[in-house]
Amino acid sequence: MVNEQYKLLGRKVEDLRQKEDFYPTPKYVTEALLNNYHFTGKIWEPACGDGRLSEVLLQHYKDVESSDLVDRGYGQGGVDFLTSTKTAPNIITNPPFHLAYEFIVQGLKLSEKCLALLLPIRYLTGKKRAKLYAKFPPAKVIVIPNKVDFLGFGSPAMEFAWFVWEKGVTQTTITWADVQDADLKEKREK
């Protein structure tokens, strides 16, 4: 609906994209990851935005560090993940989608045990990504069974999954998250 209105105004739909790709993750989407994967050790959320994802992680894990390129009043601002050199046992984020490939490559370098990224399901495809996945197959793909409405505009267009890489695991398993109607309702009402 919003897209249609925008086209009528003669603007490109891409112009609708949030600055720095700021799309906060709904709580039920983070819970879909945590219900299907257990992390051990410290977690770094390197593109934390306003802390939407980090706050859910903190309900389950004590040791969570948060940073972002942009200072949004949560975690440490001014930290470019793509030029960072420090490592962490686990890295979890919903990255800016225009930099998704770079986040995968950098995340694989900097995570000691596990990397979990929320990505559009179509990121399973693509020649360049296929080459990367052949070398580094995700251990688990956790499918979110509904289209994710990040901004609450209604009529979301894209399907997502958590792509989880685990050091030493080279077989990919696919799981469909059990998302309850109540979770979706809670999300819509926010």
Ligand X SMILES: C[S@@+](CC[C@H](N)C(=O)[O-])C[C@H]1O[C@@H](n2cnc3c(N)ncnc32)[C@H](O)[C@@H]1O
Contacting residues toward ligand X, per CB under 6 A: 20-25, 46-49, 52-53, 68-70, 80-82, 93-96, 99
- For residue 169, the minimal CB distance to ligand X (Å) is 24
Instruction: Closer to ligand X by CB, 49 or 138: give it.
Output: 49
Instruction: Closer to ligand X by CB, 27 or 129: give it.
Output: 27
- For residue 134, the minimal CB distance to ligand X (Å) is 26
Instruction: Closer to ligand X by CB, 42 or 169: give it.
Output: 42
SS3 assignment for 49-77 = CCCHHHHHHHHHCCCEEEECCCCCCCCEC
DSSP annotation of 43: E
- For residue 8, the minimal CB distance to ligand X (Å) is 27
For residue 48, count other CB atoms closer than 10 A to its CB.
Answer: 29
Instruction: Closer to ligand X by CB, 106 or 165: give it.
Output: 106
Q: Which residue has the tokens 């802390």?
A: 51
Instruction: Closer to ligand X by CB, 12 or 19: give it.
Output: 19
- For residue 160, the minimal CB distance to ligand X (Å) is 11
Instruction: Closer to ligand X by CB, 28 or 81: give it.
Output: 81
H or E stretch including 64? Answer: strand 64-66
- For residue 89, the minimal CB distance to ligand X (Å) is 18
Closest residue to ligand X, based on beta-carbon distance = 49
* Sheet-wide strand order for 43-45: 64-66, 43-45, 88-93, 111-120, 160-166, 140-143, 173-176
Q: Which residue has the tokens 């934390």?
A: 48
- For residue 152, the minimal CB distance to ligand X (Å) is 13
Structure token pair of residue 121: 């399901």
DSSP annotation of 14: G
The amino acid present at 73, given as its one-letter code, is G
Q: Is 153 exposed, middle or buried (0-12, 13-18, 19+ CB in 10 A)?
A: exposed
